[in-house]
Each structure stands twice: as structure tokens, then as C-alpha cells.
Amino acid sequence: MFKSRLAKSKPVSRGMEPLEGRTLFAGVFQETGGLAVAEIESEPTNGWTRVTSPAGYTGSAAYKWNGPNYFSTPGRNILKYNFNINNAGTYNLDLRSYNASSDNKEFNDVFIRVDGGQWFKAFTYENKKWTYVTRKEIRHNVFEDYRVNLSKGQHSVEISARSNAYVIDRLVLFKDGVNGQNPALPQSPTSGTTNPNPNPPPPSGSNVKITSYSLINADTNQVISGYSNFTSDRTIKLSTLPTRNISIRANVDTGVKSVRFVFDGRTQVESILPFALLGDNNGNYNGFRAQAGKTYSISGTAFSGLGANGTASSTISLKLRFT
């Protein structure tokens, strides 16, 4: 099996999915008793990867950043969470996160901003375990705990991708003296506008199904000529391809909101177009390097809801053999 190669930033000519349906909660998380808890997966992935490992995450999943490092460019692949503060005051802002590397100074941070203000690097110095430790870099090599003064009313917290491989599980706001770092705490209720159903039945007249697969040149993000629509096993001569750095896109009917792929035993759930085998970064496909003599097993299942929820299609499985 090959590690996926993160595609470099490239111009994308194809249109992206409209924002319709992107927000799972039309209301906001309600702070009660100096505490507000938001599961990270309450917002669509927006280019992050939904994961169910390592074990110990809360809710239904965690999010992992599998894209490039954005060390000096905040504002990428933003996850946004809205809160209604009923008790004004100073709140600790913590991410429950996991750094799987052996280096506790790498693969361990994101950018965060509150109410559209300044972006700050937020990081943990612990690794190989779930932790709530969240430090804020206020200027170069000057750090403090992430604390914010919040007035009564609505506030927003945005998380922007920074370091590859970092995993985040939930976002909590809590006052001193409140145990906001208890993973058994439930997610806070939401209110405001009526919550829409995040896993709706397919619209009338639409179908939930994968119609075909396309072979993608992960260097250019374009469909490879001759492989735009296929649903059965294929044998492909590498010498006929423009690149060995490839991906697969699932082409779907109108009722599909997410696709779950299994690629040589490895699972990937995509909730934003394009539905790419190894994910993508704003339309820049993550590819794998095809090897001669290797056969790859691929399957895809479409769903009417985000995050592989709702009505499921039949699974389309096939094998790609490269010679």
C-alpha cells in the first residue's frame, strides 16, 4: 500500500459545491453555567478528514488535517462554531486534540480566531494522547493559555488548518471552576433557528447512488482521457497515463450528500464535492502513486446525509490493475 501524496496548490477550473447544506446547526450552541461544548463534527469537514481513530474520541468522530502545512497563511479550510453566551466573563478556550507523532513540537497546531478578530496559533505540547492543553502564541515565542473575554450574546470561534496530521475532537468554552475538560460531558444544546435535519431523505425525484468513477490526474486535477466514466474492473497500462500520481472521483446522482470509500482496506468519508478517494484540499486532489503489477481494490457507497449518514446506496466495488 502506498501513502497518499498531498497535492500541491494548483489552480482549479472546475466549480465547487455551493454552500447550501453546509451548516448542520442553524442555531447556536448555548452556554449554560459557564460551559459550552461543541463536537468538532457538528460542522461539515470543509477539506478536513473525518476519522474514527485514534480510539477515545467523543461524539461520532474527530477531524484530521491531511492537507499541506499552512504555517504562515491562516484562513484555510475554516471550521466555524457559533455560541450564545448567557453568562458574560472570561472563558478558557480549549481544543480536545491528539498529536500522534513522537515529536511534541510538531504536527500539533491550528489557527484560531474569535468573532472575526486576529488569528492566533493555538497548539498543544503533549503527544500520543488525547489532551485539552491548548496554548496561544501571542507573539513569537511568547505563549499563554487560550482565554477570551466574552460578553453576553452570540460569539463565533473559527479554526483554520495549520499543521498536517493534527487531530481535533471537540471545542469547549468554560469558566474557571467549571470542569470543561471532562470528555463525558454532552454536547451543548443548540437553539435559535430551528435545527434542520442533517440526514434528510433524498429530494423527490432524485436518487442516492454513485453513477460512475473517474480516474483523476492528481497533478492537474483533471480527468484522464479515456477514464471519465467506469464502474467495473479495469487494467491500465501506466505508459499510457500522463502521470502515476492519480486519484479516483465518485460521480453521483442528485440525492447524494456524502460518499464513503474503502481503498485497500482504508476508509475515507467525503461530505463536500468533489467526492475524492483520498480527499482533497479545495479541489486539489490527494493522490497515490500507482505501481506496475499492483492491483488496488476500491469501493464506494453514497449517502443522502453528510458524514456517511442517512439513506445509503448499494456499494460499487471494482479493482484497478496497473501494468
For residue 203, whether the previous peptide bond is cis, meaning omega lies within 30 degrees of 0, is: no
What pLDDT does 206 receive?
63
pLDDT higher than threshold 60 for residue 17: no
Question: How far apart are the C-alpha atoms of 67 and 132, rounded to whole Å?
Answer: 23
Rounded to a whole number of angstroms, the CA Rg of the chain reads 21
Read off the C-alpha cell for 96. Answer: 480536545
The fold of the 28-191 domain, in CATH, is Jelly Rolls (2.60.120)
Q: Is the pLDDT of residue 253 over 80?
A: yes
- The pLDDT of residue 20 is 29
All 3 cell numbers of residue 30? 448555548
Higher pLDDT: 306 or 72? It is: 72
The residues spanned by each domain of the chain are 28-191, 210-322
Is the per-residue pLDDT at 7 higher than 60?
A: no
Residue 185: band (very low, low, confident or very high) from pLDDT cuts 50, 70, 90:
very high
Of the pLDDT bands very low, low, confident and very high (cuts 50, 70, 90), residue 112 is: very high
Tallying the residues shown for the chain, one arrives at 323
C-alpha cell at 31: 452556554
What's the pLDDT band for 18 if we cut at 50, 70, 90? Answer: very low
Q: Are strands 190-191 and 28-30 parallel, antiparallel or unpaired?
A: antiparallel
List Cα–Cα distances, 289 to 187, 244, 249, 253, 292, in angstroms: 40, 5, 16, 29, 10
Please state, as a whole number, how many other Cβ atoms lie within 10 Å of the Cβ of residue 213: 24
pLDDT value at residue 44: 84
**pLDDT score recorded for residue 201:** 59
Question: Which position has the higher pLDDT, 24 or 308?
Answer: 308
CATH topology assigned to domain 210-322 = Immunoglobulin-like (2.60.40)
Confidence category of residue 63, pLDDT binned at 50, 70, 90 = very high
Q: Coil, strand, or helix at residue 37?
A: strand
Do 290 and 224 touch, CB atoms closer than 8 A?
no
pTM above 0.85, yes or no: no
